[in-house]
Structure 1
Amino acid sequence: MSSHPVHKKRVLWINHFVPYPPKGGLLIRTYGLLEKVLVDHDVTLMCLVQPRLLTPYFESVEQGLAEAKRFFESKGAQIHFFTMDNEKTKWHRLTTAGLSLASSKPYSVNWLHSRELANALNQVDYENFDYIHVDTMGLLGDFGTALPADKTVINHHNAEHIMMQRRAEKETHWAKKHYYAIEAKKIAQFDAQMMRHYRHHIVCSPEDKEALNHLQPGMNVEVVPNGVAYKEKVTRTPQQGKLLFIGGLDWYPNHDAITFLLEAICPLIRQHNIAVHIDIIGKNPAASVSNLASQYEFVTIHGYVDDIDIFYQNAQAFLCPLRDGGGTKLKVLDAMNYGLPVIGSDIAFEGISVTHMESGFVVNSTEAIFAAICDLVDGNVDAESVGQKGRQLIAQKYDAKTISQNYSCSIKEHN
């Protein structure tokens, strides 16, 4: 007879990164989903180690792993780490990208290969688990359909094939455009193949659900939105014309968005002498971004910043002119949580039920973004009212604690 209470499930959680600390989109989503699951269930984590996700926050990868282990074990979980064969050096990544041209599997699958993880999973007795969470479809490259389908749920941080299609459509370099188009097709084929075996999936947004159902109709796809820890109280001291962007600048949709801002929007701001100052915060900005920003006295590139509360507190609005990417943007939810009105594109607001001019400013063209900035600075819109309605949305639909609670309950009810 099991010693576990009836409601407590034994959960195997397979992750393509170490979900600690909760900084950055991927880590925040997974950490958020785990929060209540760790309390309600017996969890075993098997995590690939991506050094690039740990080194910005710790003195060494080893320190990061030690702190992650200490944290999760303090929550009663077991955690195991596994190296990625293709993440040892930049050369390994580039070689994998090249070899993927000759592979039927997409780069995203080949990149996640880990002999260590594959060997460990071959030794797992799946009868010892009631529920298996796989945190991205690409992890299935090493073990295919070996997991018990009735117990397995695949998490999707975004619809990867749609993201790659967008990237191919936007790319101007012919070789890269061709590569991304091939990758989009391979991802779609791989995902459809795996979904014929694994029928249970969770996604961030209705848009992603529609994309998966288009690939493979008849799936059991549940929308589990991204969320942030709702702030019961925030302090706002907005300064007129102070605009903010926060996001990792080594992530290509953010790099593209800031490049677009600097090349298309900032010249209009200068031409019309609009009184703004734009703070751009994010790790690893490219030299091209820093060079562009240096042309404008009203733009400051800060790089990575430990304490960003003061920036949220003083900003009048958050800029998010994304033209690429997928999933629900945690940077947008974070800004809304602080009461900032967000000036963003359709892509920026994917999965977030904002209403234009009420809980956010949904603008896509260069002219529309510039006009929204001008209206804000000139006081033609009630920015603080829009920001407060955005905060209400966080409380109602995107509070991480509620989302994690709901996911934990779905694990309890899973048969």
Structure 2
Amino acid sequence: MKILWVSPFFLHPTDRGGQIRTLGTLKELHKRHEVHFCALNASSNTEGPQRAGEYSTRSFAVPHDPIPRASLRILPQLFQAIFSPIPLAVSRYHSTALERVIAERLAEERYDSVVCDFLACAPNFREMEPAVLFQHNVETTIWQRHAEQTSSSLRRRFFGLQARKMAAYEAQICRRSRFVIAVSDIDASRMRNDFSVTRVASVSTGVDVDSLAPPPHADPVSDLIFSGSMDWLPNIDAMEFFLKEIFPLVQQELPRTTLTIAGRAPDERVLRAAEGVAGVTVTGSVPDMRPYLWGSKVSIIPLRIGGGTRLKVYESMAAGVPIVSTTIGAEGLTYTPGRDLLIGDTPQQFAQQCVRMLRDADDRAAVAGNAMRLVRDNFSWAAVTQEFEAILQQNRL
């Protein structure tokens, strides 16, 4: 097949879960198919376009610098978002230049398949009918959970407004798309029930099991590890929640417990929550997340907000690190609670599961071993991309 793949960003540096999922999928597809990759690209990013040949035959970079969410310059966009029918999380990735490039590619080339990667890319398509929409999350769910979890009445109103706009927009785009690929059965079911989408199927999240396999010996990093993009609102909420309500309970039982928060662009709220807390390290961006996983005893995923599936779950499993998660943190993934990972949905439950793992090395090894076998047997990128490829074949133009 000849595939046109359109994304809101290039895939290097690879520091977001969505990038990891797209990169793993495209590397496999590129082994057998011709891939033309179009994406927005920040002016400071030279690595992305330079490395696009690792997963595509041709690439087209469109300069685009969204205003950072933490910048005061975003205030006019926030004001406009109150009155615009398009939610802010989508409109900030609209580019007339990318819209023109997509139209030119479709006019000049005969593609067998067109992929709109992420809902955020949809405004750049003049028509969605030819495109398979790759939905990494049900975006509406994320905004609804933001509104439910925030303690600020002003934020609750804003998040609620954005959730309603997202629901209307997401439903429209999903129904107009040629087909929708979700990342879990739960997400696919939500789209059918909430958006009346009939052309939808799920493809499991994959993981690079070979590169994540733990070495015989690893330098110690910390007792607990949280990995992820630290400017993503669900991760920010998770760390505020953990540091304020869970970590003190863990340290009551095990006072010397250490925690590393590893991931790019830590938000000021995370830094404030971690400030002065004994045993906590916030790294910011790291060149390679694997040593941080290998050198930690337990991977924590205390998410209260989110949609789609968290790649950090399968990555931690493949790295041989036992996991304590909330139900939402592991939502949409295949696992047996208590066997492959531990679940705690209240601060007390989560803290108890962390203490259990930290106190018992044999217990940690058993849970980690079960999880490693699960991902190795079922969720390599080669295995899951075959499902993705079959859907594209069935929905050729």
The verdict on a shared fold, with TM-score over 0.5 as the criterion, is: yes
Q: Distance in 2 between matches of 1:92 and 1:142?
A: 23
Q: Distance in 1 between matches of 2:68 and 2:262?
A: 28
Match of 1:133 in 2: 115
Distance 1:109 1:275, change over 3 A: closer
- Asked if 1:113 is matched to 2:105, the reply is no
Say whether the 8 Å CA contact 1:229–1:401 is kept in structure 2: no
The 5 A counterparts of 1:325-344 are: 325-344=306-325
Q: Distance in 2 between matches of 1:76 and 1:252?
A: 31
Match of 2:167 in 1: 188
Match of 1:11 in 2: 3
- Tell me the alpha carbon deviations over residues 39-92 of structure 1, each in whole angstroms, 9 at most, x when there is no partner: 2112111101246xxxxxxxx42x22xxx3343336561111113375489455
Match of 2:41 in 1: 49
Say whether the 8 Å CA contact 1:86–1:93 is kept in structure 2: no
- Asked if 1:84 is matched to 2:45, the reply is no
Moved more, 353-362 or 307-316: 307-316
Match of 2:240 in 1: 259
- Asked if 1:303 is matched to 2:284, the reply is yes
TM-score (norm 1): 0.87
Structure 2 regions of 5+ residues with no counterpart? Answer: none
Say whether the 8 Å CA contact 1:240–1:276 is kept in structure 2: no
Match of 1:282 in 2: 263
The 5 A counterparts of 1:15-414 are: 15-50=7-42, 60-61=44-45, 63-64=46-47, 68-73=48-53, 77-84=57-64, 86-87=66-67, 90=71, 93-123=74-104, 124-125=106-107, 128-144=110-126, 146-147=127-128, 149=129, 151-231=130-210, 233-235=213-215, 242-379=223-360, 382-414=363-395
SS of 2:248's equivalent in the other structure is helix
TM-score (norm 2): 0.90
SS of 1:21's equivalent in the other structure is coil
Distance 1:406 1:384, change over 3 A: same
Q: Distance in 1 between matches of 2:55 and 2:236?
A: 36
Counterpart amino acid of residue 179 in structure 1: F
Structure 1 regions of 5+ residues with no counterpart? Answer: 1-8, 52-59
Counterpart amino acid of residue 234 in structure 1: P
SS of 1:18's equivalent in the other structure is coil
Q: Distance in 2 between matches of 1:76 and 1:273?
A: 49
Offset, 1:93: 3.6
Counterpart amino acid of residue 58 in structure 2: Q
Moved more, 127-136 or 378-387: 378-387
SS of 1:40's equivalent in the other structure is coil
Identity %: 24
Say whether the 8 Å CA contact 1:279–1:300 is kept in structure 2: yes
- Tell me the alpha carbon deviations over residues 308-363 of structure 1, each in whole angstroms, 9 at most, x when there is no partner: 43332232211111111111111121111111110000111012112111000011
Offset, 1:388: 1.0
Distance 1:153 1:225, change over 3 A: same
Say whether the 8 Å CA contact 1:279–1:299 is kept in structure 2: yes
Counterpart amino acid of residue 139 in structure 1: C
Counterpart amino acid of residue 181 in structure 2: I
Q: Distance in 2 between matches of 1:195 and 1:371?
A: 41
Say whether the 8 Å CA contact 1:158–1:327 is kept in structure 2: yes
Q: Distance in 2 between matches of 1:10 and 1:129?
A: 5
Q: Distance in 2 between matches of 1:195 and 1:308?
A: 34
Offset, 1:379: 1.9
Say whether the 8 Å CA contact 1:248–1:284 is kept in structure 2: yes
Moved more, 197-206 or 403-412: 403-412
Distance 1:407 1:273, change over 3 A: closer
